[in-house]
Structure 1
Amino acid sequence: MPAAPLKTRERLSEVRYEIRGELARRARELEVQGRTLIKLNIGNPGAFGFRAPAHLQRAIVDGIDQTDPYTHQQGLPEAREAVAAHYKARGTPHVTPERVFIGNGVSELIDLSLRALLNPGDEVLLPSPDYPLWSAATILNDGRPVYYRCLPSNGFLPDPDEIEALVSSRTRAIVLINPNNPTGANYPRELIERIVAIAERHGLLLLCDEIYDAILYDDAAFQPIAPLAGDVPCLSFSGLSKVHRACGWRVGWAVLSGDPMRVGAFHHAMDLLGALRLCANVPGQFAVQAALQGDDTIGALCAPGGRLHEARRAVVDAVAASPHLALVTPDAALYAFPSVVGEAAEGFDDHRFALELLESEDVLVVPGSSFNVPYRNHFRVTLLPPPEQLREVFERIDRVLDRMAGASRRDTRAAIA
């Protein structure tokens, strides 16, 4: 009699991560068959020809002979000192190196922070759309995601009144993703102040994903949350992956701010969990000081004429020229989140569209519903390809949507007949 298959954790059935999920697996199958794909599913700068700045690379080379031992569970002292100084300079209260945690990317630190915070059944307020790792980490740490809407009609900004209405006796934290992935929204100061006030009234932790904090377009200005939070407990996340184009180095940090008496137990919980995984990748940590104290290398890419700015312009122009698409122009980050409108939107299913686009046009995008929204007429693309390639991508997208619109017209005529 054959042995029974191994069982897996039941809550995994609630977790979605389509950014690297079923469609990405199908893309790999097509590549094995010899197809050349344009993969817009991941914000991975190195895959599109970007390189980490040379002074960051030199810092790792210069420190490599010191990287054999484990380091402190919270990270290299000099890396934490550099992070603390950077956040202190922009007004973060109560920040010291002892309140800085270095992790294997922000992803690991998100998981550690929710593991330190949640008891079974506790609730976390998450934006919809969200970056799905936040939902997954909440679920896998036995919490319950509760979503507040960031509607396209409001520029993908949340409504603070709706956030407060969702607070219950089990709510533990509010997650803010600013600048936002997947929408490119950039939160104004007044909105953040209102959300901070909600956290203060209800004794909640602010979890602030700010990994895109310096990727800004036109006149957008980033407002960090911790300086406005003051004594309100706040954990601010960032790292080397996006602004410094070093995803593969897996270096992120989290900075704990707020009244020391209110965050002491949480600090100890984070430290314990960090110790259980020994330490984060050591070589990449030698680049942190160089990144935060060296020259700005992202600003020129985001300014008019810079590659990211012109890629964004190419997407905005392509959507404007399309009869099938609409877009809230992204103010920040590395993504656009177009919606399908008009005849093509009749009966539209974002996953079916993404699969057809992949199979027929060799383009991989992420269905919008993967970001925990109830509607199914959006998709996400990254702005990392060259502008000319993005123009070609949207020509292919329009071909698929032309076919869908034609099918919708035929169905309408058949129904009338």
Structure 2
Amino acid sequence: MLASKRILLIIGGGIAAYKSLDLIRRLRERGASVTPVLTRAAEEFVTPLSVSALAGEKAYRDLFDLTDEAEMGHIQLSRSADLIVVAPATADLMGKMAAGLANDLASTLLMATDTPVLCAPAMNVRMWNHPATRRNYRQLTEDGIRFAGPNEGDMACGEYGPGRMSEPLEIVAAIEAALAGGPLAGKRILVTSGPTHEPIDPVRYIANRSSGAQGTAIARALVSLGAEVVFVTGPAEVAPPEGVELVHVRTAQQMSDAVDAALPVDAGVFAAAVADWRVDGASDRKLKKSRDGMPVLQFAENPDILKRVSHMEKGRPALVVGFAAETDDVIAHATVKRTRKGCDWIVANDVSPGTGIMGGSENAVVLISDNGAEEWPRMGKDAVARRLAERIAAALTG
């Protein structure tokens, strides 16, 4: 898929720059050519020599290289690539891009191009969560910039959380998706998946049997059609798909916050099995047996993510797809749910114990829309995902 593709790789200044060396190798293995550009800060982490040796091309560093600039080399560089990849995309680089600054070679290339751009952010968790970074991220998304990651994990600084740069193969998958074209190219789609865990105390929690398999399959199918996918997942049993912007959450409130952070999007597919209730005032210590009998748990209602997004007055996705897992009167209950939530489509299925669907490899769904209830035959979850992804593509591009 990447044979003969030309990638302009801008390497920002962060410890994650070491991954750019492996990224270059992985891209060249797949037949792509890579032209590297290093910021001044990047040279503190990787050397131009090592980058150039792996790329097999000159590593560009300075905007005021007189030999190259005699023919406006920065313009040629910025427009001769099939895709510009910024990895790592530091908070500084994202800020420059969002503000339209151009005071070095990297930022000037990004301003002087009409080539698609893919960013792989990498920064400290507090920098990623800072309001300025979140604002810049939203602006860049609105400007059409695609993103791969960041992931959640251990940081070089010793902290843990979102901000870790995606692994090279994840970035490769995102590059392939960005260059694949397809009916959903240029569309940004949010997919929620998996269960949520609502804590009772530090040891126990309330959950459900969702494996996350169907949501993962849907995200994978959307990526294959060229979409940029933000994948917000609870503690699922299955591994997340490659080529998505991955956000791990645990509780319904965290999922709600992650959905807000992902907006705006062209479509939202809410496949997660979000807990309706949480324990009000979960204990910060393990609850013990006592002579007074069993503890009494008080419940509070969790955020209704699907309903809130469906009723947004500003920034509502063009298509909102909800899911309904029912054990009886599937079509009737799901039809009522669609009206109550205000979403465009509901994908309903029968998850009663005898079906083997909850946590299984197959699904049998009913698509409920303005056109009524359309029953699909029982098939593998990947097949369901492909069929739904094709319907989404038709709705967004038709």
> Would you call these one fold, judging by a TM-score over 0.5?
no
Structure with higher strand content: 2
Between structure 1 and structure 2, the one with the greater Rg is 2
Greater length-normalized contact order (CA 8 Å, ≥ 6 residues apart): 1
> Into which bin does the TM-score normalised by the smaller protein fall?
under 0.3
More helix by share: 1
TM-score (norm 2): 0.27
Q: State the TM-score, normalized to the length of structure 1.
A: 0.26
